[in-house]
Amino acid sequence: QVQLQESGPGLVKPSETLSLTCSVSGSPVRSYSWSWIRQSPGKGLEWIGFIETTGSTTYNPSFKSRLSIGLDTSKNQVSLKLSSVTAADTAVYFCARLLYTRAYLRFDYWGQGTLATVSS
Amino acid sequence: QSVLTQPPSVSGTPGQRVTISCSGSTSNIGTYTVNWFQHVPGTAPRLIIYGNNQRPAGVPVDRFSGSKSGTSASLAISGLQSEDEADYYCAAWDDGLSGPVVFGGGTRLTV
């Protein structure tokens, strides 16, 4: 059974870097692509970016200059680092497994999400 | 403002059938397939439709169905149950400036 569990500091100060981890069980991270999606308070889902098995990343243009997504195959984890955060980055952050071709995508497993609050 | 447009809310009574629309353009739905997700706040989103009309294992075949025509897609839920009350989102690849993955704004289903 594939399970994803996001974790992070909960509270981050403005201008600092938000670091989140997605721990995966039941699926080797090196064999699939992984994505981060967030939901700001009172809003819908927003795609952040994904990382492929090769380590190649694709990011939402809105985040491109601040974002880094990585894989730790030894711990079977996916990471997200978002720098220079503001209150607008306060959200629940989800990780999800992504299956895709150029014409087809499928976010088949999701974590429950972790709340990250940006506040001084 | 989401790239894919969904109605903010729909409602129905138990046993009824409801549909949720997702409107896009040639750069997304018109070219690529659509996912639908069910999300009960505080839980993990659940994939209920992929490839426009395919259901993952465990999704009731007689209750959830998806369709696509041109640049719009629809999710139909039949035999409404109280546990269907959730937020529903569509998603697709996109060739535009917001891409390459775009979500709808979500639709709150009240049963």
- The predicted-structure confidence for A24-78, as pLDDT tens digits, reads as follows 999 999 999 999 999 999 898 999 999 999 999 999 989 878 999 999 999 999 9
Q: Which residue has the higher pLDDT, A12 or B41?
A: A12
Cα B30 to Cα A43: distance, rounded to the nearest angstrom: 25
Contact at CB, B45 and A94, closer than 8 angstroms: yes
Q: How many CB pairs under 8 A join A and B?
A: 72
Q: Give the phi and the psi of residue B102 in degrees, each rounded to 5.
A: -130, 145
Residue A111 distance to chain B (closest CA, Å) = 5
Length of chain A: 120
On chain A, the residues whose CB falls within 8 A of the CB of B102 are 47
Cα A92 to Cα A6: distance, rounded to the nearest angstrom: 10
Tell which A residues from 97 to 116 touch B, by Cβ distance under 8 Å.
100, 102-108, 110-113
Contact at CB, B32 and A58, closer than 8 angstroms: no
pLDDT at residue B96 above 90? no
Measured between CA atoms, the residue of chain A closest to residue B107 is A44
Contact at CB, A110 and B42, closer than 8 angstroms: no
Q: Give the phi and the psi of residue A85 in degrees, each rounded to 5.
A: -75, 150
Distance of alpha carbon A96 from its chain centroid, rounded?
8
On chain A, the residues whose CB falls within 8 A of the CB of B33 are 103-105
- Give me the mean pLDDT over the A4-20 stretch: 96
Mutate to test the interface with B, among A4, A40, A48, A105 (most CBs of B within 10 A): A105
Given pLDDT bands bounded at 50, 70 and 90, which one contains residue B104? very high
Q: Does B46 touch chain A (CB under 8 A)?
A: yes
- Give me the mean pLDDT over the B2-23 stretch: 96
Q: Does A42 touch chain B (CB under 8 A)?
A: no
- The SS3 assignment for A8 reads coil
pLDDT given at position B1:
77
Of A95, A103, A92, A61, nearest to A77 by C-alpha is A95
Contact at CB, A45 and B89, closer than 8 angstroms: yes
**8 Å CB contact between A77 and A90:** no
pLDDT given at position A101:
87
Cα B9 to Cα B106: distance, rounded to the nearest angstrom: 8
